[in-house]
Each structure stands twice: as structure tokens, then as C-alpha cells.
Structure 1
Amino acid sequence: MSGDTQAPAAQKVDRRLLGIAFILVLGTFMATIDATIVSVGIDTLAEEFGASVAEIQWVSTAYLLAVVAAVPASGWLAGRWGGRRTWMGAIGLFLFGSLLCALAWDATSMIVFRIVQGLGGGMLPATGQALLARIAGPGRTGKVISIVAVVPMLSPVFGPLAGGTLLAVASWQWLFLVNIPIGAAALLLARRYVPRVPPAGERAPFDLRGAALLSPGLAVLVYGLTELAEGRAVAAATGVSAGVLMLAAFVVHGLRTRTTPLIDPRLFTRPPFGAAALSLVVLGASVFGTTFLLPLYFQTGRGLTAWEAGLLLAPQGLGAVAGSVLVGRSIDKAAPRTLVVCGIALILVGTVPFTQLGHDLPHAVVVAALVVRGTGMAMIGAPVMNIVYSRIEPAHLPRAASALNLLNTVGGSVGTAALAVVLQDRLTARGADVSQAFADTFWWVSALCLLAAAGASRLPRTNVRNP
């Protein structure tokens, strides 16, 4: 996987492959949109269950922590049982969790059922991407990944809008029941049209020690950062310290074990995987961080409703669609570094106006900035994943896909928690000037873009092909 590895010649993406991509992307759509669709219903659920806001927030946090815990295991499951079987099993678990959530009778049961739902949802993106890459082959991976990679970017944007729409016309149960017809259709279509792909390589034993360190370590770390955002210093320090220690122990274990680790730490030392990983981490932090900040600002700083805030975020999704079309046409022609660096530059350009929120930024400027950000977002994810998926051995695809999706998820959760801490500090410092506090926080989002650019500078300069 060196930067000089030749990329395979591009091949035509036929209708059959596009159909398979559409089926698999339904799972990714459900899993990623469910992380945000409930956000606008938090107040409704708190009222329904008679719970405090602090307690009901765990409805979102529990899902995210379950996703973080499930992603690393998806690679091993796909490698042992096959991608199609693992993907369909994840869909079934996700739908079962969705049904349980709709039947929840109090806050505690809802939180437990969200964990079940998150365990299924956490396996869907990585398993679907790895399976699609196996079916497509290296020569078609770039174009097909450029199509499906836009979905995780659209979901955080349209999730709040979809949630607000559902609550306007139906009861809160439909925040979860809406998954049932989508998932059922995905299962039926997968049984008919998605081919069975045998597991690649030998069936390695499950890394129990690694699983006991990595998934809980990430969950505890995210929990600690969440507590820090809530101002609970003791719980935050305990969670962050314990999470860091567990992750450090996992790295040591991964380097020393003689068996196949859950995620091989050595992957991150091999170019271009390390640079690609850094770019996805920062992209996740920027995308989910901004999706956290802007709706909060629109509602607290400008007095908009949840529906209006979600609607104002929609242009970012439109920009992502436009960017995905651009990437789909150029991903096999332009150098990966060129696409990614241009994407980061556009995200930075689209972020800078939000550092001026204290000057009563017009809605037209907000819309234009979000379109630019969305276009830039689409120019990063697909090229980065194409680099990895087209240059790695088939036997390593499931674990590589797990690692990349885990980094994107962790980047989003850690970035959101870190920006929440910064925002709380700036709100305290600025007092009644809420807009300026948000503007200060967006300077940190801009800094994340510069960090992503540093990682992208190590991506391959050229897109060399086999003759």
C-alpha cells in the first residue's frame, strides 16, 4: 500500500453494479440518518417520558456509543461469515432495535433499545462498503464509492429536517418506525440481487482481548468527552483517562499479538492509509461538529424552530450532491491529492463566514457558505476511500473498511464533544453575546480544516494506472 502503488485501470460501471450499490446504500442511509433524526425529538421524548433533558440526551449518546462499539467487530464478522450475510444480519438487528424503540415505555427502556439499534447500525456502513468494493473490483471502486460516499454526508444534514417533518405530522414513534419499510425493502432486494461473496483469506480467530480494549475504550473516551461538555469534571477526567489508557493498551496489544488483531495498528503507518485516516477523522469532526453547532445557533441565537433550522441546513446537502457528481466524473482522472486538497479548501472557505456570526450574518451568506462546504465534503470522502479500497488486498478489505468508518465515526463524536466544550467556554466568556460565542467556536472548525490539509499533503500526487 505504498504511495507508488499503481492504481488499476478504470472500468465501466454498469446498471447491475449501480443497482447493487443502491441496495447497499439503503443500509448506510438508515444507520447514519438515525444518528441525527432523533435530535429534534429530544424535547418531545423528554416530555413523553417525564425525563430531564440531561437524562433524555442519552437517547442520542447511547446510539453513538453503540455504533462506536460495533464498527471494529464488523470487519471480523464479514471476514468470517461473508459480507452479504453480515450486512443482512446487521439490517435485521437494526430493524429489531427500531421496533423496540417505538415500543419503549420510559427513558431507560428507550436508552437500552437504542443500544440494540446502534449495534446493528454501526456494522452497516463498513460492511456495505467493503462488500461493494469486493463486487466492483479495483477498476470500478472509485466511481461506485463516489456514489455511495455522499450518503453519510447527506444524512447529518437531512436527519434533523426529516425528524422535524415526521414530528409535525405523526407521533414520536415514527422516528423509529420509518426505518421498518426501508430496511425490509433492503433485505428483500439484497436476497435477490446482491451476490454472495466468499470471505477472503483465512478465518482468523476473533481478537477477544482487542475487542475488550478497543470498543469499550472508545466508548469510555466518548463518554468522558460528553461529560466534559456537560461540565462534570470528575466524570470527564475519569472517562477520558480510562479511555486513553485502554486505547494505548490496545495499540500495544495490536503490535505484539501473533494473531490477527481486530484492527491492525500497523495499517496507520503504511502510506497512504495513515494520511487517508487523518483526513477522514478531521472530515468527520468538521461535518458532525458543524451539524451540531449550526442548528443550536439557529435555534438559540436566531430563535428559529427545529423545522426552520433543518431547512436552513439543507443547502449543504445540495452542495454534497453537486460535489459527488463532480467527483464521479473526475475520480479516475484527477490525482487523489488534488481532489482532497481542493475539497478541504472549499470546506475552509465555507467555514470562514461562520466566524463572523457576531455581525448578524445574512441568511443568503449562510446558504452560500453551506453549499460551498457541502461541495467540498463530497470531494474528500470518496477519493480517500478509493485510495484505500483500490490498493489493498481483498483479504484486508473488511478490516480496512472497519478502520476507516471507525475513524470517521470517532472523528465526528470526538470533534462534536470537543467543540461543545469550546462553545461552553466561549458562552461563559461572552455572556449574553451568544452569536459571538458561536463565531469564536467556528475558528476551531477552521483549524480542523488546516489539520486535514496537513494530512492530505501526504496523499499520492499522481493517479498512476496499469498499462
Structure 2
Amino acid sequence: MSEKTAPPAERVDGRLLRIAFILVLGTFMATMDATIVSVGIDTLTEEFGTSVAGIQWVTTAYLLAVVAAVPASGWLADRFGGRRTWLVAVGVFLLGSVLCALAWSATSLVVFRVLQGLGGGLLPPTGQALLARVAGPGRTGRVISIVAVVPLLSPVLGPLAGGSILHVAPWPWLFLVNLPIGAAAILLARRYVPAVPPSDRRTAFDLRGAVLLSPGLAVLVLGLTEVAHGRTVPAAVGVAAGLVMLAGFVVHGLRTRRTPLIDPRLFARPPFGAAALALLVLGASVFGTAFLLPLYFQTGRGLSPWEAGLLLAPQGVGAAAGSVLVNRTIEAVAPRTLVVTGIALVLAGTVPFTQLGQGLPDPVLASALLVRGLGMAMIGAPVMNIVYSRIEPEHLPRASGALNLLNTVGGSVGTAALAVVLQDRLAARSTDIDQAFADTFWWVLGLCLLAAAGATRLPRTHARKP
């Protein structure tokens, strides 16, 4: 069957769109919760009578738990089935949300955020793998282009939603807002999402790999966070220990005769390596910018969280428009063309932020964010389609886990690294906050150039359909 004469079954029908909508609810909750709490830091600090540095662990603990959970997603889906794993992950996330709302101290809130993050870390990779399995290679591109916009919208909508909630309700509703969404997701998934059976190849859990990979990533991110806070000794120990553990995992993954938690050899197989690099840098750019911009709008321009969220809204509008564009062109345009074009747009939309010291008006920044959002939507979905359409169905859970891990690590490491750069530039620029942020955005621009270099190695053509 040629690529130009796809059978009727390749059409994205209402049933598949319904499944995509249900599964994307999980991703929406998990990615929104990573940012929705950020605007409530001041409120939580006052509520629990602690310092900003102490309450910041509410965000850091969630992020570390997500990073720790993602690597196990592939094995869990293989062992217990995609839908069952996804449903349990939603349940764990909702339990964590309820406990967070009932927290009586900053310490208890941090502990419950870890539980919430463990569930949230499993939702995007298991949901994507399950959706790709149900859709099949011929329809993966179009359906992924629909759901991939959610992680791009969440950093934009999270602060806006958090500010809106705190405007009308007490802080526990930052977490209780997840309950109706999660309950609807569970009920709808049990009725409409098909059960994908576990893998026939039952493999033992890679305990040694898990001990090295997940804690190694968490310790590395924690070390970088300590750098941002100016604590030199804990930072050096954390970064060094994290890198040693990750190096140990790579050696273990290459030598073990069992199936590793994530196979390092995947990254040497084209187009997986180039795709992973693109998602790694995209995560750093998206979440790094999501960290920088609300901070700049509130400290540099004196905006409220609500006003900062409104100024960020054009990026969400651009991402939605880009998702529609990708959905209509992903089967007709070469994947590399879409990705390279998207990176070029992100580059163009980032350049104005390197000139913040020149006093750029809000309409210019809003236009730049619109262009950035459009470009970001043209990167993630085509990259995932390249991988998902070229890999055997039984390998989808582990491949999805690896890609989401790279995107998550890119976001967390990128955010921590940019925080370090920003701290250094603020110290160097003294009272010139605008120029300090402008200096930091040159690093974001550098990340985009690195992604562009990796994207040139992506395939020119679509995978052949059976």
C-alpha cells in the first residue's frame, strides 16, 4: 500500500478522538499541577509560617518525584497493561491531591506532593504509549498533534489558573481542582478506552537500573537547584553524585543481559537520538521560559499573577494554532521540515526577549510569545510521530517513557540551569533587572540553536506504512 492511498481505516474517527480526549485529561492534570502551585508560593509561605526557601520544596519535591517516576512507566505498562497502569496513576495522583489539600504543615505538604508527583510522572508516557498503540502507525501523527499541545499550554494556563483560584477560594483548591477532572477521566477511561494487554515478554524489573537512574536524575536536579540557591557544597555534591549515578546506569544498561529500565542503545538508533535531543532541548526551552517570564513580569514589570498570566496567554494561542496547522499538514509535509520550521519560529520569538533592556512594549512581547507558541507546537508532535511510527508496538511503552523522560529532564535541568544563570546576571547587573533577564534569554537562544543542529539529523521522509 503506498503512502498516497491510505485505507479508510487510517482516518482519525470520532472514537479515536474520544480516546485521545480522555487520555489527555491525565496529561493535563499532571502538567498543569507542575505550574499551578507556583503562583501560590507566597500564600503557602504565609499559611504555614515558613520561609520562601522552605516552601519552594513544594514545587521541587513534585518535580523530583516526576523525574523519578517516568523511567518506570515502560516496565509498568509492559507488566500490567497500559490502561490499568494509567488508571492506577490517576488514582495515585488524586490521592496525593486530596492529601495535599489536607496538609497541616509545610513538611506534610512536601511529602504529599511527592506522592502526587509519582502518579503525575506516569500519566504522560503511559497515556501517549496507549494512544499510539490504539491509533496505529498510520494515525499516530495526526492524533499526537492534537494531544501534544497540552504540555505546551499548561505552563501558560497554570499560573493563570492558580491566580484565578486564589482570587476566589482558599489555597487547598489549588489541589482539589484536580478531583473532578480526575474522576471524569477514570469513569470515561473505564468505559471507552480499550484495555491493551500486557506484553507477552515478561521481564524482571531492572532494580539496579532503577536505583541508579531515578535517584541519579533526582539528585542531579536537586544539585542544580542548590546552585541556584547559592549553596556551593550541597550543589557540588549533588551534581557530582547525580552524574556518577547516571554514568553507572549507562554502563549497567549496556552490559546487562536483561531488559534495562531504559535501553541506552535506543539513543544510538536513528532517528531516536536526534528526536531525543530535540525533545530534551524543547523541554528546557519551554519550561525554562515558563520559569523566567512570570518571574520577569512580576519582578521586572510589577504585574500581578493574573496580569502576568494574561500577558503569557498569546503563547497558548500560538500553541493551539500550531496544533491545528500540524494536524492538517503532518501527513503531507516532511517531519524534518515541520520541526526545523518550528525551531526557527521559536528562535525568532526568543530574540525580542534578549532585548528586554531596551524597554520593549507589551504588544511586542505578546507577538513574540505568539510566534514562540506556534513554533513549539510544530516540534513536539512531529518528533513523537517520527519515533512512534517507526517502532514496533510492543516497544512503544519503553520508547514513550524514554522520550518523556528526556523532555522532563530537559525541563527540570533547563529550569535549574537558567535559574543559576539568572542569579549570576542579577548579581552582575545590580539594579538593572531588565538587562539581567535579557542576558539570561541569550542562553535560551543557545538552547534553540542546539535543538536546530539536532533536528537536521531527523529523517526527511515519512515512515512507510504497511
TM-score range, shorter chain: over 0.9
| Residues 1:37 and 1:249: Cα distance change in structure 2 (over 3 Å) | same
Q: CA deviation at 1:200?
A: 3.1
Amino acid at match of 1:382: A
2: CA distance, partners of 1:314 / 1:113: 30
Contact 1:7/1:390 (<8 A) preserved: no
Match of 2:74 in 1: 75
Match of 1:389 in 2: 388
Amino acid at match of 1:98: S
Amino acid at match of 2:351: V
Match of 1:400 in 2: 399
Contact 2:38/2:159 (<8 A) preserved: yes
Match of 2:347 in 1: 348
Match of 1:123 in 2: 122
- CA deviations over 1:360-404 (Å, ceiling 9, x no partner): 110000100000000000000000000111110111100000000
Match of 1:144 in 2: 143
Q: CA deviation at 1:461?
A: 1.1
Give the secondary-structure state (helix, strand or coil) at the position aligned to 2:104.
coil
Match of 1:31 in 2: 30
Match of 2:186 in 1: 187
Q: CA deviation at 1:296?
A: 0.6
Contact 2:80/2:198 (<8 A) preserved: yes
Amino acid at match of 1:384: V
Q: CA deviation at 1:9?
A: 4.9
The answer to whether the aligner puts 1:420 opposite 2:436 as a matched pair is no
Q: CA deviation at 1:463?
A: 2.3
- CA deviations over 1:303-332 (Å, ceiling 9, x no partner): 111111111111100000000000000111
The answer to whether the aligner puts 1:327 opposite 2:326 as a matched pair is yes
2: CA distance, partners of 1:222 / 1:172: 27
The number of equivalent residue pairs is 462
List 4+ stretches of structure 1 deviating above 4 A.
6-10
RMSD: 1.2
| Residues 1:9 and 1:444: Cα distance change in structure 2 (over 3 Å) | farther
TM-score w.r.t. length of structure 1: 0.98
Counterparts of residues 363-374 of structure 1 (less than 5 Å): 363-374=362-373
1: CA distance, partners of 2:309 / 2:233: 35
2: CA distance, partners of 1:102 / 1:329: 42
2: CA distance, partners of 1:199 / 1:340: 33
Contact 1:327/1:379 (<8 A) preserved: yes
2: CA distance, partners of 1:311 / 1:413: 24
Give the secondary-structure state (helix, strand or coil) at the position aligned to 1:130.
helix
- CA deviations over 1:263-315 (Å, ceiling 9, x no partner): 00000000000000000000000000111111111111111111111111111
Match of 1:241 in 2: 240
2: CA distance, partners of 1:154 / 1:409: 15
Match of 1:164 in 2: 163
1: CA distance, partners of 2:190 / 2:280: 33
1: CA distance, partners of 2:343 / 2:29: 27
Q: CA deviation at 1:465?
A: 3.4
Match of 1:3 in 2: none
Runs of 5+ unmatched residues, structure 1? 1-5
Give the secondary-structure state (helix, strand or coil) at the position aligned to 2:310.
helix
Runs of 5+ unmatched residues, structure 2? none
Q: CA deviation at 1:155?
A: 0.4
Q: CA deviation at 1:8?
A: 11
Q: CA deviation at 1:203?
A: 1.2
Counterparts of residues 13-28 of structure 1 (less than 5 Å): 13-28=12-27
Amino acid at match of 1:343: G
Match of 2:86 in 1: 87
Contact 2:224/2:416 (<8 A) preserved: yes
1: CA distance, partners of 2:76 / 2:403: 16
2: CA distance, partners of 1:460 / 1:111: 43
Identity %: 79
Counterparts of residues 446-465 of structure 1 (less than 5 Å): 446-463=445-462, 465=464
2: CA distance, partners of 1:380 / 1:37: 24
Contact 2:220/2:242 (<8 A) preserved: yes
Q: CA deviation at 1:199?
A: 1.9
2: CA distance, partners of 1:186 / 1:367: 33
Match of 1:105 in 2: 104
Match of 2:63 in 1: 64
1: CA distance, partners of 2:464 / 2:244: 43
The answer to whether the aligner puts 1:224 opposite 2:216 as a matched pair is no
TM-score w.r.t. length of structure 2: 0.98
